[in-house]
Homo-oligomer: A and B are copies of this chain.
């Protein structure tokens, strides 16, 4: 049985299938905007699930009409309100700390050992893209409205979108156009450019597709799946030679029981059963 996740009041967390967790931002009234409390819980959930051996795959979505409408603007507005008398460098360093703490939460899906499938629908602005660019697989429903919205609020995106997208999809011109114009784009364009790998009719269909995929992944060897995530994430930031050395080291100890279980199950034409990880 998975660990206890009842303390996370900003999210709806359920377990729709064995090994599969479903995490949904649960602030529908604000179109799932994120404030300090939301993004701290966001980070904590993925830290906890990373080590929860009863979870093998995570589906991430948003309750209500929107996937995520971005930052709760009021949050930014009130930041530093009490610091007016603070010396300028200290005020700046405090603000940098705010940014890096925020980043440390938003990057948890990338660090989480379990694969994460995002299902995007409706408004998916700003922070929405920072969050999903650090997830593994992205599905969109036809009504999705994506936008690298940050330019419209006078800043360059700093929670991962601009840092990760050039390594996630690779049409640099397209990324730049979106970053410079904050233009809204839909599911088809997101699919054509590789931001999402599946377009579905609506949110319900997206959840169905995601859960099927999550179940399929959960039936595979968790050593293979988690090892693949670690290896691919390593590969995008290292040379090919370094990548080959990393997986050689990893497989030296990771190729073990699951390979035997897989081979024997194949021979016996039964479904393999893998131990928890």
Contacts and interface: CB of A to CB of B under 8 A. Distances in A.
Interface of A: 57, 73, 76-77, 86-90, 92-93, 95-96, 99-100, 103, 107, 110, 115, 136-138, 150-158, 160, 162-164, 166-177, 179-183, 193-197, 213, 216-217, 220-221, 223-225, 227-232, 235-263, 266, 272, 274-277
Contact of A96 (B77, B90, B252): B252
Contact of A155 (B96, B138, B258): B258
State the number of copies, please.
6
20 contacts: A86-B275, A89-B254, A90-B223, A92-B253, A115-B176, A151-B224, A153-B224, A153-B262, A153-B263, A154-B257, A156-B227, A160-B240, A162-B247, A166-B232, A167-B240, A168-B171, A168-B173, A174-B194, A180-B228, A181-B216
Nearest to A179: B228
Interface SS majority for chain A: helix
A256 to B, nearest CB: 4
Contacts of A99: 248, 251-252
Given A163-B244, A180-B115, A240-B237, A168 B158 contact: no
Nearest to A106: B244
Contact of A90 (B90, B195, B237, B275): B275
B169 A100 contact: no
B155 A235 contact: no
A259 B170 CA distance: 29
A262 B180 contact: no
Contacts of A173: 136-138, 168, 194-197
